[in-house]
Structure 1
Amino acid sequence: MLTISPAKIAHVIIRARKFDAGVPGSGQARELRAFIAALNEDEQAGLTAVMWVGRDTYDASELDEAIATAKAEATAPTEDYLLGNPMLADHLEDGLNALGISLEEAEEDIYPTV
């Protein structure tokens, strides 16, 4: 079971893409780090697990195992680990897709249409 809301994953994807395309010193990295650091342990493990599913380390059917492994093997701050992955946004989006979750629908929870 996913331990982080799809909207929070979508937020990380959006911020990671802005960070990748951004100007050095713009504050995007700092903001993304702070957001991930503020997540609770379950959310951080869920975020890591979705990234692993997206890069094919785990299959979508192994999500619970991936979350348990993320918790058990967490040694560095999650934000450092995730931001060290240059394909973070793509892996997270691929992970959501593998889990049958639409990024577009998750984004609507962040930016609801009026």
Structure 2
Amino acid sequence: MDPLTPLDTLCRIILRGREYEAQTPSDYDGNETPDDVDDEDAGTLSVLDDTLNDSVEEELRAILDDLGEDQLAEVVAFCWVGQGTYEAADWDEAMEEASALSSGGSAAAIDELMDMPMLASVLEAGMAAFELSCDGIGDLS
């Protein structure tokens, strides 16, 4: 499979996704597990060293926003395959639903991705289902 989205772009999403996932709620004091933090505070994120880092989220959103409608749908579909919502054999169906989500504007698809637990991992797993990987690509090698 040749993805519509350049492999280096997919890998950059994975890299930034990992950085984004490494953030914890801002009132995390290190004495509790992240699961013990109130859900109402989950929208405010900071890096584990308590340094606020909005630039990671902004960069990830910018990368996603720069994608074409078909490319954004493809990223969503890869993630759905990676999390098991669809099988690799159901790629056309996953792309059709992802295209419907991203048509008419990217906000819904970007929000879907940003709210996805373990975005980097599920994207990587979805790509692996099609024998695509980031081995040898930039910082992910």
CA distance in 1 between partners of 2:54 and 2:85 (Å): 32
| Structure 2: distance between partners of 1:87 and 1:15 | 12
Q: Find out whether 1:92 has 2:117 as its counterpart.
A: no
Report the Cα distance in structure 1 between the residues aligned to 2:54 and 2:97, rounded to whole angstroms: 34
State how many pairs are aligned.
Answer: 109
1:3-41: per-residue Cα shift (whole Å, max 9, x none)? Answer: 222221111000011112242334100110011011110
Q: Distance in 2 between matches of 1:43 and 1:6?
A: 11
Task: Work out which of the residue numbers 59, 62, 66 in structure 1 matches 2:90.
Answer: 62
| Identical pairs, percent | 34
Structure with larger Rg: 2
Give the counterpart of 2:62 among 34, 39, 47: 34
Aligned equivalents of 1:21, 1:104: Cα separation in 2: 21
1:16 maps to 17
Give the corresponding residue for 1:47: 75
- Unpaired runs of 5+ residues, structure 2, are 24-46
2:12 aligned partner, one-letter code: H
- What is the CA-CA distance between 1:103 and the residue it aligns to? 2.3
Root mean square deviation of aligned Cα: 2.0
Mean Cα deviation higher: 73-82 or 44-53: 73-82
Deviation of the 1:104 alpha carbon: 1.2
SS at match of 1:102: coil
Output the CA distance in 2 between the equivalents of 1:52 and 1:3: 16
Higher share of residues assigned helix? 1
Deviations 1:24-78 (A, max 9, x none): 3341001100110111101100000000010011111222221121111337612
Q: TM-score, normalised by structure 1?
A: 0.83
**Contact 2:21 2:118 (8 Å CA) reproduced:** no
Hey, what does 2:27 align to over in structure 1? none
The offset of 1:101, in angstroms, is: 1.0
- Check the 8 A contact 2:83/2:125 in 1, yes or no: yes
The equivalent residue for 1:101 is 132
When normalised by structure 2's length, the TM-score is 0.68
